[in-house]
Each structure stands twice: as C-alpha cells, then as structure tokens.
C-alpha cells in the first residue's frame, strides 16, 4: 500500500484501512451494548424495580474506571462523552427518560452542560422558571437541571422534598469549567468512592465560621451558594442525611439535599 517494509510512516491508505477495520469492530460492540438495554430493563422489572432506571452511582463507577484505565491516545473528554452517550441511549430505551433545563441568566451554558452529561438521546425542554424545572424532575423518569444563580435559593426547596435529590454537579470535568449547574431527580444517591455531599443551613453565621465549625468536627466543607437566608455547602465525601456531625452543625433548619461524584479530573 505504498510503503516499504521498515518504513515508519504508514501511508494514508493504510491508516484509513485500519480506521475502517476499527469502526467495524466498534459498531459491532456498540450494537451489542445497545441491545442489552432491553435485558437491563427486564432484569430490573423482574427484581420489582419499576421506578426510574437512572443509576448515577453505577454511571460514576463506570466512568471513573474508564478514566483511570491506561490509554495511549483517547482523552478523558472523549471517553466520558462516548460513554455518557451509550448510557443515555440505554436509559432512553428503558423508559420515558426526559430532561428539563433552567439555566437562569445563562440558559445556553446550562443546555450545553446538560447535553454533555446526559447525551442526546433523552428529549430536552428548556424551562422558563426554576419551579418548572423542579416540577418536571418529579414526573416519572424526569431529570431537572438547574443553574446556580445569584440571589436564587431553588436548592433550598429540596429540604421540603426529601425524595428529590441533587445527584450530579455539572460539568463532571474540571477542564470543562467550574460546577455551575446541578441535576435533580427522584433517584437514590450512593457513595461512589469520590463524592461531594450537598448540605443546606439557615445559620446566619458567616460561611467561614460555619466551615470552621464543620472542620472542627472533621467535615471539610466549601461554600457553593448563598441566597434567601440559606447557605449551600459542598462537603467532601459522602454523608448520610442523619449524620451526627451534621446534626450538631450550625443552623436550625439544615439538611442533606443530595450527593454527586466529584469532578473526575480533580
């Protein structure tokens, strides 16, 4: 094919032949994986699990394992985008999976982050209000994505909605930018070995004083947002809602409103 034995640089024809061969193998594997969606749905049904099929913990374990696997050329970004698409496609085949996005003053960024995290398989609606996005997150197989917006404490409403939880912080890679939106749904959140827990308090103390009090009890915290007399903190690690250290932390109205994997490249 135009190159002598021992020639280090393969010809364009040779490289394209290899690409075509790899594409054939990839397609066969993609087809096989996509075909398992029906089996996954049937297995869940047989186990009496008829609720929302999304498993954020399982997705994080899959993605983290892939990102940590040795590679020669495929970037983290490529690996993550491909597998998010595969998992989203599987989920969309299992039930009426749908997304509703509210991005506040930056709807375009929220839409972009939503597609990066949830792929193109599920239909997406752009909501006019935070309330609309939260209401959609309570519908069967619904996910709401809401932006962090100054002076808006939509996240505080989750204190009164224990079934609704933040399960993802977007984007999932630091190189894609700071975490500026959260995904909310009626799903179980589980520890994945690299997590942040979201905790709200109505304590009027300064954020630094609250961080110090938590730190004295062994809890590493970072202020995420402050609005409407409430503060939202990200705690490093996975904390259960009934954790004794959080029970004695500052504030009279306090609570865990979800947890999410930490960014995979941090």
Ligand X SMILES: O=C(O)C(=O)C[C@]1(C(=O)O)C=C[C@@H](O)C=C1
Which residues contact ligand X (rule: CB under 6 A)?
40, 53-55, 58-59, 62, 86-87, 90-91
- 153 within 8 A of 128, measured Cβ to Cβ: no
Pair type for strands 142-147 and 98-102: parallel
Which residue number places its CB atom closest to ligand X? 90
In angstroms, give the least distance from the CB of 8 to ligand X: 39
State residue 157 phi and psi, 5-degree precision. -65, -20
Cβ-based nearer residue to ligand X, 59 or 76: 59
Cβ-based nearer residue to ligand X, 53 or 261: 53
In angstroms, give the least distance from the CB of 257 to ligand X: 20
Cβ-based nearer residue to ligand X, 91 or 137: 91
Cβ-based nearer residue to ligand X, 86 or 223: 86
In angstroms, give the least distance from the CB of 86 to ligand X: 6
In angstroms, give the least distance from the CB of 91 to ligand X: 4
In angstroms, give the least distance from the CB of 126 to ligand X: 23
| Cα Rg, the chain, nearest whole Å | 21
Q: Which residues contact 160 (CB under 8 A, 6 or more apart)?
A: none
Cβ-based nearer residue to ligand X, 86 or 135: 86
Q: Which tokens hold the place of 103? A: 């991005």
Give the separation between CA 108 and CA 110, rounded to whole angstroms. Answer: 5
- The SS3 of residue 259 is strand
- The separation between CA 125 and the C-alpha centre of its own chain, rounded to angstroms, equals 18
- The SS3 of residue 52 is coil
């Amino acid at each position: 094919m135009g190159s002598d034995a021992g020639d280090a640089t393969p010809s364009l024809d040779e490289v394209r032949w290899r690409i075509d061969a790899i594409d054939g193998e990839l397609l066969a594997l993609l087809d096989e994986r996509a075909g398992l969606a029906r089996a996954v749905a049937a297995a869940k049904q047989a186990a009496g699990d008829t609720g929302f099929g999304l498993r954020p913990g399982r997705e994080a374990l899959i993605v983290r394992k892939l990102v940590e696997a040795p590679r020669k050329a495929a970037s983290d970004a490529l690996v993550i985008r491909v597998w998010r698409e595969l998992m989203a496609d599987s989920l969309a085949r299992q039930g009426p999976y749908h997304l509703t996005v509210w991005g506040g003053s930056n709807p375009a960024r929220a839409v972009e982050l939503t597609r990066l995290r949830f792929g193109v398989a599920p239909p997406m609606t752009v909501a006019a209000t935070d309330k609309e996005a939260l209401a959609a997150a309570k519908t069967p197989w619904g996910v709401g994505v809401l932006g962090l917006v100054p002076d808006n404490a939509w996240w505080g409403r989750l204190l009164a909605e224990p079934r609704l939880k933040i399960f993802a912080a977007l984007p999932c890679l630091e190189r894609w930018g700071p975490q500026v939106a959260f995904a909310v749904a009626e799903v179980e959140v589980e520890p994945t070995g690299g997590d942040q827990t979201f905790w709200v308090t109505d304590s009027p103390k300064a954020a630094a004083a609250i961080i110090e009090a938590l730190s004295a009890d062994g809890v590493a915290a970072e202020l995420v947002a402050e609005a409407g007399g409430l503060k939202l903190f990200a705690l490093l690690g996975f904390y259960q809602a009934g954790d004794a250290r959080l029970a004695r932390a500052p504030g009279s109205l306090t609570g865990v409103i979800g947890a999410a994997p930490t960014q995979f490249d941090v």
